Amino acid sequence: MNIEEKLKSGQRLDYKDGLALYELDLFTLGKYANEKRKALYQNKAFFNVNRHINPTNICKDICKFCAFSANRKNPNPYTMSHEEILNILDESVKHHITEVHIVSAHNKDAGLDWYMGIFKKIKERFPALHVKALTAAEINFLASTYDMSYEQVIDLMIENGVDSLPGGGAEIFDEKVRDYICKGKVSSKQWMQIHDIWHKKGRKSNATMLFGHVEKREHRIDHMMRLRDQQDKSGGFNAFIPLVYQRENNYLHVEDFLSSVEILKTYAISRLLLDNIPHIKAYWATSTINLALMAQEFGADDLDGTIEKESVQSAAGAKSAAGLKLQDFLDLIQTSGYVPVERDSLYNELKVYDN
């Protein structure tokens, strides 16, 4: 049975099938991914009204793809105070954000008490705000720094108000690639273990994949298959987010940047291969808003959100530093032929903008 026969029959795809999907032409692949997307969500394009905060860029790790860390390419180290963060949120809640997304570097001087303290203060001042915070890489950093177990760190996070985990730090799970691009960072096994513990607490998280650097197609498929296996066990991933590598201001020196066709194929394949992860997010901060909107025709159903301010991807060249205004976001989705659906962080629908 060839790959198209498998797609038509609805059989679960395996690793070899994932590689075979890349050999299909873009529009054939897009047709199958779009059919699956429409069966799940019709013409809806999900987003949330959120604020990204990156509290510090001082990092003990040196990842070759990173332009955010102050250790090498970024000459402007900073660490925000709790008051600075709360002042930002005082303004952001006026824009009716429902989520604050907090990720940053591995800064030993902004340690466990600093993080738990700001989470607690946010929840005390804004009890209705969903706190999405700390990647598995940050949890691994805190656990190793303070000689704690992952579960101990996670229990503290929950106690102090963290509601869900972002998907960052996954990069590419293949350890040889990982050793080259982010040596010393959380391992693929540790990343999965942290999310497994989080899911067993009854909590939800996202999962990412950084692609378009030195990895190959087989590494991407392997990455997706590992996530699918984990989802079969713990069921806690809300969304898969393929992050397009940003090539400025870092030490990977990638010369052959991915084509739009390869990026769209990767979105489509993730929809077809990850049959147990409900949402595929085209994170516009790494793909550009135009390609993210096009990705909605290739299996993606989510765009992330308004963001307001973004520091990590924009440091590497992404045009996302100032976020997007809500009305601009709505106009872009509607003129692309989709119905904008504002969601909360757990994908409950808050408002349908159906004209």
Whether the full predicted model's pTM is greater than 0.95, yes or no, is: no
Rounded Cα gap, residues 260 and 172, in angstroms: 20
Per-residue pLDDT reduced to its tens digit, 224-245: 999 999 999 999 999 999 998 8
Q: What percent of the chain has pLDDT over 70?
A: 86
pLDDT at 74 over 60: no
User: Which amino acid is located at 167 in the chain?
Assistant: G
Rounded Cα gap, residues 330 and 324, in angstroms: 10
What's the half-sphere exposure (Cβ side, CA atoms, 13 Å) at 171? 28
Specify the pLDDT at position 111. 85
Specify the pLDDT at position 45. 96
Rounded Cα gap, residues 167 and 281, in angstroms: 11
Average pLDDT over all residues of the chain: 88
Overall average pLDDT of the 293-307 stretch: 91
Q: In this structure, are residues 306 and 324 in contact, taking their beta carbons and an 8 Å threshold?
A: yes
Q: Which residue, among 128, 207, 206, has the nearest Cα to 161 in the 3D structure?
A: 128
Per-residue pLDDT reduced to its tens digit, 193-212: 999 999 999 999 999 999 98
Specify the pLDDT at position 316. 40
Q: In this structure, are residues 300 and 292 in contact, taking their beta carbons and an 8 Å threshold?
A: yes
Per-residue pLDDT reduced to its tens digit, 28-55: 999 999 999 999 999 999 999 989 898 8
Specify the pLDDT at position 147. 97
DSSP letter string over 24-57? S-HHHHHHHHHHHHHHHHTTEEEEE-EEEE--B-
Alpha helix ranges (H) inside the chain = 3-9, 15-23, 26-41, 82-92, 112-125, 136-145, 150-159, 175-182, 188-200, 217-234, 260-273, 284-287, 289-295, 326-335
Q: What superfamily would CATH give domain 17-340?
A: Aldolase class I (3.20.20.70)
The total of other beta-carbon atoms located within 10 Å of residue 156's CB is 18
What is the residue extent of each domain of the chain? Answer: 17-340
Q: In this structure, are residues 354 and 139 in contact, taking their beta carbons and an 8 Å threshold?
A: no
pLDDT at 321 over 50: no
Overall average pLDDT of the 169-183 stretch: 89
Rounded Cα gap, residues 312 and 315, in angstroms: 6
